[in-house]
Amino acid sequence: MIFADRSEAGRQLAEELRELSLEKPAVLGLARGGVPVAAAVARELGAPLDVLVVRKLGCPGQPELGIGAVGELGVRVLNTKLIARLGVADEQIEDIARREGAEVDRRVERYRRGSAPVKLKGRTAILVDDGLATGFTAGAAVGVVRQLQAVQVVLAVPVAPRQAVESLEEVADRVVALQTPPDFMAVGQWYRDFTQVSDEEVSALLASAPSEQAGSSNEGRT
């Protein structure tokens, strides 16, 4: 199945999630690509929408190779086996994590523009991305919402490799993937339109969330 774009993928994902009858759901899109998918999910489910910022930690000299990820609240997930095999020093990891952590803070401020985030305590957090590759970024996202006291964490994506789904089933309460193709190579191959999502688009989607969603998001996360 090839999705027309992220919005269509979100609508199809919402149909699957609706069957779960999740209690008090709140939808969080992983920035940036997951937010258009999450916006469609939130509209279909009538749930509040928010953004969750996580950043991949790229290997020194091979930035496209993820050795872990960082997220809000200082959450960090590391691929310790890969780090040991590559011989990445602790000092290098700290430097990369500090740089990416600063980018997390910058994006959070830009996207929310001072608005309070959605309150997750006592709710089901639905983490949405446009797809999974290694899953380390999503793993960091699960760690963030665990700290925010969500009663259940559901990770939902349109497409992912089976190995990533099985790995994340160990940290999330449930993983929903519409398809897990055996010939998976990259997320973008499963979309006709996989245009890069801008910071401005993320901000606009959050700002245009329905009023009943905005009301929920002003409660804060404490």
DSSP secondary structure, the chain, as one string: --BSSHHHHHHHHHHHHHTT--SSEEEEEETTTHHHHHHHHHHHHT--EEEE-EEEEEETTEEEEEEEEEEGGG-EEE-HHHHHHHT--HHHHHHHHHHHHHHHHHHHHHHHTTPPPPP-TTSEEEEE-S--SSSHHHHHHHHHHHHTT-SEEEEEEEE--HHHHHHHTTTSSEEEEEE--TT---GGGGBS--PPPPHHHHHHHHHTS-HHHHHHHTT---
Say if residue 122's pLDDT is above 70: yes
Q: Average model confidence (pLDDT) for the chain?
A: 90
| pLDDT for residue 144 | 86
Residue 71 lies in a domain: no
**Mean pLDDT value of segment 25-47:** 96
| pLDDT for residue 210 | 63
CATH number at residue 22: 3.40.50.2020
Residue 209 lies in a domain: yes
Residue 101 lies in a domain: no
Say if residue 77's pLDDT is above 90: no
Residue 205 lies in a domain: yes
Share above pLDDT 90 across residues of the chain, in percent, rounded to a whole number: 71
Residue 91 lies in a domain: no
Domain extent, residue 192, equals 6-53+118-217
**Mean pLDDT value of segment 197-221:** 68
Say if residue 213's pLDDT is above 80: no
Lowest mean per-residue pLDDT among 17-31, 63-77, 121-135, 172-186: 63-77
Say if residue 137's pLDDT is above 50: yes
Residue 142 lies in a domain: yes
Tokens 């980018």 sit on residue: 103
Higher pLDDT, residue 73 or 164: 164
The total number of structural domains in the chain stands at 1
Say if residue 102's pLDDT is above 50: yes
Say if residue 75's pLDDT is above 90: no
Residue 61 lies in a domain: no
pLDDT range class, residue 174, cuts 50, 70, 90 = very high
**Mean pLDDT value of segment 39-68:** 92
Residue 113 lies in a domain: no
